[in-house]
């Protein structure tokens, strides 16, 4: 809200009653004090007129003594003052948690131990304190043993022809099974696995990266991710052109060609193999906020 007024404050009192002045014929006449411009008139608010153009909605002109500025949809506005200056802030609403794959069908799948897969996504402004994803565990009633699970997740931004690591997080755990009894009831079927990561992302283009490693000892059971049910076939590149493994369905979508135990600091687009079918079946991951 912005009120328009003179910044000059005149402390001289207003005239009252009448006084003698000149009329348009240069003759003296009696004039009421209320009919002249007095100090209080300089201190009053004054009208403004404003026009907006371009990609607008509603009315294009405004006038009066007060301008109210408000946000609509996902846009918010705020105001601050410091050192005698006022600042109007305009930004986008920040979501509390976000699921980029909510409208995509999921199937059980595996991307391969140690494989880093990349998936480009347009994300809104979002605040979160954890990343979580579904795991599926199966085990037979007569199979006992142990599993070691480790996961790495990275969030990348683009720097010309290279992806640069913005954030990463990881978590490892070890589980012992005794057939389908005991602790199996805590891990069986589809479960959400959670990894802590507290941050706020501005809206924009990001590349999500996922890596998993699973080792088993004396167990016939297995762990799988829930992945996007995209075409489970190799992508062969451009129509009418020779096959090139670095061609990608969407820029930066695919499998990292190098071996890495953790998320690399930078990855060139030429280091992402887009021909692998698992590159099109990125695991479901969610950005969560609050207690699950």
pTM for this prediction:
0.72
At 76, is the secondary structure helix, strand, or coil? strand
More confident residue, 194 or 4: 194
- The confidence band for 163, taking pLDDT boundaries of 50, 70 and 90, is very high
Q: Which pLDDT does position 128 carry in this prediction?
A: 95
Exposed (0-12), middle (13-18) or buried (19+): which is 221, by Cβ within 10 Å? buried
More confident residue, 181 or 283: 283
**Spatial distance between the Cα atoms of 184 and 139, rounded to a whole number of angstroms:** 8
State the pairing for strand pair 61-64/48-51.
Answer: antiparallel
Q: Which pLDDT does position 200 carry in this prediction?
A: 94
Per-residue pLDDT tens for 67-92?
777 777 777 788 888 877 788 878 77
Of 290, 289, 229, nearest to 98 by C-alpha is 289
Q: Which pLDDT does position 6 carry in this prediction?
A: 61
User: Averaged over 195-224, what is the pLDDT?
Assistant: 87
Q: Which pLDDT does position 266 carry in this prediction?
A: 96
- The confidence band for 32, taking pLDDT boundaries of 50, 70 and 90, is confident
* Element (DSSP H or E) covering residue 152: strand 144-159
**Spatial distance between the Cα atoms of 276 and 225, rounded to a whole number of angstroms:** 17
Q: Show the CA angle centred on residue 239, arms to residues 237 and 243, nearest 5°.
A: 40
Q: Which pLDDT does position 7 carry in this prediction?
A: 65
Q: Which pLDDT does position 179 carry in this prediction?
A: 66
Q: 24-33, 124-133, 239-248: lowest mean pLDDT where?
A: 239-248
Is residue 279 pLDDT above 90, yes or no?
A: no
Q: Show the CA angle centred on residue 156, arms to residues 154 and 157, nearest 5°.
A: 170
Q: Which pLDDT does position 5 carry in this prediction?
A: 63
- The confidence band for 232, taking pLDDT boundaries of 50, 70 and 90, is low
More confident residue, 44 or 259: 259
Give residue for tokens 């043993």: 145
Q: Where are the domains of the chain?
A: 2-68, 96-288
More confident residue, 170 or 9: 170
Instruction: Tell me the average pLDDT of the chain.
Output: 83
Q: Which pLDDT does position 31 carry in this prediction?
A: 85
């Amino acid at each position: 809200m912005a009120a328009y007024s003179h910044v000059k404050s005149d402390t001289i009192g207003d005239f009252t009653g009448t006084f003698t002045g000149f009329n348009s014929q240069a003759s003296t006449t009696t004039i009421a004090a209320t009919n002249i411009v007095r100090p209080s008139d300089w201190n009053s608010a004054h009208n403004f007129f404003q026009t907006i153009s371009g990609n607008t909605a509603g009315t294009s002109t405004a006038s009066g003594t007060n301008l109210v500025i408000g946000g609509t949809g996902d846009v918010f506005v705020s105001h601050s003052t410091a050192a005698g200056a006022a600042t109007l802030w305009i930004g986008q609403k920040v979501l509390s948690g976000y699921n980029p794959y909510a409208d995509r069908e999921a199937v059980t799948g595996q991307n391969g131990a140690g494989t880093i897969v990349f998936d480009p996504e347009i994300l809104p402004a979002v605040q979160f304190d954890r990343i979580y994803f579904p795991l599926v565990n199966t085990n037979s009633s007569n199979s006992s043993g142990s599993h070691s699970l480790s996961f790495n997740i990275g969030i990348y931004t683009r720097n010309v022809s290279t992806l640069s690591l913005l954030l990463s997080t990881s978590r490892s755990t070890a589980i012992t099974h005794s057939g389908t009894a005991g602790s199996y009831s805590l891990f069986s079927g589809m479960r959400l696995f959670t990894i802590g990561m507290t941050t706020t992302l501005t809206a924009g283009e990001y590349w999500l990266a996922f890596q998993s490693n699973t080792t088993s000892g004396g167990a016939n059971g297995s762990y799988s991710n829930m992945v996007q049910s995209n075409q489970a076939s190799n992508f062969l590149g451009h129509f009418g052109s020779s096959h090139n493994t670095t061609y990608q369905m969407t820029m930066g979508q695919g499998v990292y060609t190098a071996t890495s135990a953790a998320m690399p600091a930078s990855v060139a687009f030429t280091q992402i193999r887009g021909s692998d079918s698992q590159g099109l079946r990125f695991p479901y991951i969610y950005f969560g906020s609050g207690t699950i």
